[in-house]
Amino acid sequence: MALQLLQVNFKARDDSALGRFWAEALGWGVSSEGSGATSVQPVGFVWQDPVGVCVDVIAVPDPETVKDRAHLDLATTSAAHQAELVARLKELGATPADVGQGDVPWTVLADPEGNVFCVLEPREIYRDTGPIAAVVVDCADPRAMALFWGEAMDWTLHEVSDDHARLRSAKGVGPYLEFLRTPDVKTVWNRVHLDLLPYRGDDQVEEVARLQALGATLADVGQGDVPWKVLADPEGNEFCVLAPA
C-alpha cells in the first residue's frame, strides 16, 4: 500500500487569479472545478500520471500573513533561462522576497498572494523534473520526515542528512520532495499543503489508518463534512488524503 502525491494545494483569496498566475508560470493549463477551486495541470495531463504533480488553488478569506512551511522550487536549464523566467514571473505579478537567504544563486520571489517560491539556478539533478524541481518543506528533523513520507508514499530516498532530505517517485519522474531543516516553529495551519491519492484499488480508510500507524494524526482545519481526510504529519504539517477516483 502507498499513496501518490497528486497535487500541491494553495489557499488564496482569489483562486482564479492565482491559478492563472501559476498556469502561466509553469506553462500549464487551467481547469476550473467550480466556484472557489481552480486546478492547474500540465497540458495533456493524464489522471494519476506520476510525471505530473499538479497545483490546486482553493479560495479562503484570510490573507497570507506568515512564511509558509512548504514552497515550490522551479527548475531552469541555463543562466539565461533563469533570468528570463524571473523577469517573466515579475511581469505576471511576482515580487522579490527576502526570507533571510542572503547572497545565493537562486532567486526568491512571492506570488501575487504572498506565497514564497524559488527560481533555481541550473542544476543537473533537476534536468528532467519538468518546471517544478521540488516541493520543499521546512522541518525540524529531515531524517524523521524522510522516514515518514517515504513510507507514506513509497518514494525513493536519494539523499539524507541532519539538514536536508530528498525523495522522488520510485519511477524516477516528476519533482522531488525535499525536507529542509529550519529553526522556525509552526504556529498556524499551512496555506500550502500536499494532497495525496490512493492508487486504484486501494482503500482510503485503510490508507488513513496506515498513516496513523506511521505517526500521522487526524487534523481539523474547519473542513467540515468532506470526502477527503485531513491529517498532520509527525511535525504537524497538514495534508489531505483524497478519495480514490
- Tens digits of residue pLDDT in 77-88: 999 999 999 999
* pLDDT value, residue 35: 76
C-alpha pair distances (Å), 64 with each of 12, 13, 60, 113, 119: 8, 9, 10, 7, 20
pTM of this prediction exceeds 0.75: yes
* pLDDT value, residue 166: 98
- How many angstroms separate the CA atoms of 152 and 108, rounded? 30
Residue 57 burial (10 A CB sphere; 0-12, 13-18, 19+): buried
* pLDDT value, residue 185: 66
* pLDDT value, residue 189: 59
Place of cell 515518514: 148
C-alpha cell at 37: 477551486
The residue among 97, 67, 108, 58 whose CA lies nearest residue 190 is 67
Q: How far is CA 208 from the centre of its chain?
A: 20
Question: Which residues have a Cβ under 8 Å from the Cβ of 219 and sit 6 or more positions away?
Answer: 189, 230, 231, 232, 238
* pLDDT value, residue 65: 57
* pLDDT value, residue 122: 98
Which parts of the chain have pLDDT scores under 70? 33-34, 47-51, 63-67, 185-189, 245
Place of cell 527560481: 119
* pLDDT value, residue 119: 98
What is the three-state SS of 16-27? HHHHHHHHHHHC
- Tens digits of residue pLDDT in 24-51: 999 999 987 667 899 999 888 776 665 6
